[in-house]
A and B are shown apart, each in its own frame.
Chain A
Amino acid sequence: MAADETHRAIEAVYRIERPRLIAGLARMMRDVDEAEELAQEALLIALSEWPKSGVPHNPGAWLMTAAKRRAIDGIRRDRMQERKHAEIARELDNARDTSVEELEAAMDDDLGDELLGLIFTACHPAISPEARAALTLRLIGGLTTGEIARAFLSREPTIAQRIVRAKKTIGKAGLAFEVPRGSDRTARLASVLEVIYLIFNEGYAATTGDDLVRPALCTEAQRLGRILAGLMPHEPEVLGLLALMELQASRLSARTGPDGAFTPLTKQNRARWDQLLIRRGLDALGRAEALGGANGPYALQAALAACHARARRAEDTDWRRIAELYDRLRTTMPSPVVELNRAVAHSMAFGPEAGLRLVDEIADAAALRNYAPLPAARADFLFRAGRMAEARSEFETAAGLTRNMREKAFLLARAAACS
């Protein structure tokens, strides 16, 4: 095997092991920075040793042992006085004496829990949602700062700073990298789910820039969702979120036409919907509902996405069911955006006048001021009601509000078609 190929193979193994490696090291060192550095050093040792010795049978345990040895060396060299470090060194020394098998067994037991602990720590509510997303992508997704910056259309120093600040917050708060238990757990889990869905949406409904979707972020969020569902298989909302993401992602390649223009749901070529993801989404939704989670906000949204996924043709869509699901969602998750979508669903189920009635009830909501989808929806109702002049004016208002260039082009085209 060529040297370059060997390096790539080793780096691929490292990428697989990295999140769990960092999770274990972070809990041990109580410090994300040190954990990242030790993991990186373990990679360098692997890159020099594995080409000679071959990839070890349990590469995760091997890397962990290498990182721990490096930690001991570091602690000894620096002659750290702090009690914390002395304790860690003693623990590590003891660990070093145990046989490799015991170490491996111990790691097998803890890994899931440690990874979950790291996810919960990276998504701690004390950190801002954007910083949580960046830190999660870095620590769990293994993305570089540059990759995260590109994904969020941000500058690299901005993201780097965000991550540094998040790590400081973790240090200051003295977070123990553990999975919260008891009453804290539900709120903390909500924070984790929020971050994963934020990452997904940043990819799915990019609010700025020329690219309508940045699928890499969606894929990353789906992977995070699957990992979380593997670690917490009995949490209905984890499965609800996973179902929602799989179902929405099933339409990714159908949402943009050959020229990159946005294609609305009803006009999409359903042959391009990913049936494997739809099956997985429906399966996860079924499990969430079986666990009694049918009315969770993510499960309800997944149920909505499932209505579209089940319709062979746009005209087969069960809009009455969708309207009914929105009636439920607005009590579980009250928000002006849900109200707006509910108006759209009712317009499809019961006619444009029903939509107009509902949309006019919420038109004054502060959160919807300057929100392009509101006039866009109203314009569509007016268009379907045959009130063309009003429709044109509303489409133009919507086009003036959106920051997405492709969406703007779509809305202007609809305005031009009002005659």
Chain B
Amino acid sequence: MRVVVFVKATEDSEQGALPSAELIEAMGKYNEELINAGIMVGGDGLKPSSQGKRIAFDGPGRTVIDGPFAETRELVAGFWIWEVKDMDEALAWAKRCPNPMPGPSELELRPVVSMEDFAETMTPEGAEIHARNEQRLAGQ
């Protein structure tokens, strides 16, 4: 199964504080372990929400909201995509992650939806559009 692991933001990450040399090294070793175990299939860090934008939808209305966003603990500072056998394995790996932040922090593990989960509502037209989009996503 595929799982996205979110690194939740903190005051430090939102201020754009650079990680310490120790953390960079520890995280590098951890990523190496994930790769060597064959479970890491992707991931990236995100810049603070001060550089982000939000679009609020209300019927036909679209409003742009500039970052930073207030609810720091609900924001995301980075993510991995893992392929694991089950949530137990994902949890075991997540627990051995070095604390990604200088203070208290959280990881959030969420299983990924697959196309099968949409089978009931997916029409041939919908599938066609997804085909186009996903192919573009692949950078072709």
Contact = CB atoms under 8 A, between A and B. Distances in A.
Nearest to B139: A279
Interface stretch (B45-53, B54-62, B72-80, B127-135): B127-135
B37 A271 contact: no
A230 B35 contact: yes
By size class, the interface of chain A is 35 or more
Contacts of A258: 119
Nearest to A115: B36
Contacts, number: 82
A225 interface: yes
B128 A227 contact: no
Of residues A12, A231, A277, A312, which shows the largest number of chain B Cβ atoms within 10 Å of its Cβ?
A12
A253 B116 contact: yes
B121 interface: no
Interface in B85-103: 85-86, 88-89, 91-93, 95-96
Contact of B37 (A11, A16, A219, A310): A16
A282 B89 CA distance: 27
Interface in A213-235: 219, 222-227, 230-231
Contact of A230 (B36, B41, B134): B36
Contact of A16 (B86, B93, B119, B140): B93
A50 B138 CA distance: 45
Interface in B1-39: 2, 32, 35-39
B139 to A, nearest CB: 8
- Identify whether the interface residues of B are mostly helix, strand, loop, or mixed: helix
A282 B139 CA distance: 11
Interface string A11-36: 11101100000000000000000000
B38 to A, nearest CB: 3
Contacts of B96: 59
A269 interface: yes
A313 B116 CA distance: 21
Given A16-B93, A55-B95, A112 B36 contact: yes
Nearest to A313: B131
B92 A16 contact: yes
Contacts of A389: none
Contacts of B128: 271
Given A223-B39, A227-B36, A278 B138 contact: yes
Nearest to A254: B115
Nearest to B39: A223
Nearest to A228: B38
Given A11-B88, A16-B92, A275 B137 contact: yes
A342 interface: no
A8 interface: yes
Nearest to B88: A12
Interface in A130-151: none
B22 to A, nearest CB: 16
A270 interface: yes
A165 interface: no
A274 B106 CA distance: 29
Contact of B35 (A219, A226, A277, A282): A226
A226 B38 contact: yes
Contact of A271 (B86, B92, B134): B134
Contacts of A231: 36
Given A16-B89, A253-B114, A230 B38 contact: yes
A273 interface: yes
Interface in A226-277: 226-227, 230-231, 253, 258, 269-273, 275-277
Contacts of B86: 12
A270 B133 CA distance: 11
12 contacts: A9-B88, A12-B92, A16-B93, A59-B96, A230-B35, A269-B127, A269-B131, A271-B131, A273-B134, A275-B137, A312-B131, A312-B132
